Amino acid sequence: TGASTSSMPVSLGFLAQRPPGWLGVAALGLAAVVLGAVAWRRAGPRRRRRLQQVGTVAKLWIYPVKSCKGVAVSEAECTALGLRSGDLRDRFWLVIKEDGHMVTARQEPRLVLVSITYENNRLIFRAPDVDQLVLPTKQPSSNKLYDCRIFGLDIKGRDCGNEAAQWFTNFLKTEAYRLVQFETNMKGRTSKKLLAPINWNYQVAYPDYSPLLVMTDASLVDLNTRMEKKVKMENFRPNIVVTGCDAFEEVSATRRDR
Question: DSSP assignment of 60-123, as one string?
Answer: EEE-SBTTSPPEEESEEEEETTEEEETTEETT-EEEEETTSBEE-TTT-GGGGG-EEEEETTEE
CA atoms within 13 A on the CB side of 82: 30
Q: Where are the alpha helices (DSSP H) in 154-248?
A: 162-172, 191-194, 217-224
Return phi, psi of residue 51, to 5°: -75, 145
Burial 95-107 (b: 16+ CB within 10 A, else e): bbeeebebbbbee
**pLDDT score of 46:** 54
- Are the CB atoms for 8 and 31 separated by under 8 Å? no
Distances (CA, A) of 175 to 65, 96, 98, 147, 178: 19, 11, 9, 19, 10
**pLDDT score of 18:** 34
The bridge status of strand 82-85 relative to strand 203-204 is unpaired
Please choose, from the candidates 84, 96, 102, 95, the residue with its C-alpha nearest in 3D space to the C-alpha of residue 184: 84
CA distance linking residue 33 with residue 39, whole number of Å:
10
**pLDDT score of 25:** 37
Residue 205, burial from CB neighbour count under 10 angstroms (0-12, 13-18, 19+): buried
Burial 115-134 (b: 16+ CB within 10 A, else e): ebebeeeebebebeeeeebe
Successive 10-residue mean pLDDT values, the chain, 258 residues: 42 38 37 40 55 89 97 95 95 97 96 96 97 97 96 94 98 97 94 67 87 93 95 94 92 58
Q: What is the pTM of this model?
A: 0.78
**pLDDT score of 209:** 83
Helix (H) or strand (E) holding 138: none
Return phi, psi of residue 19, to 5°: -65, 145
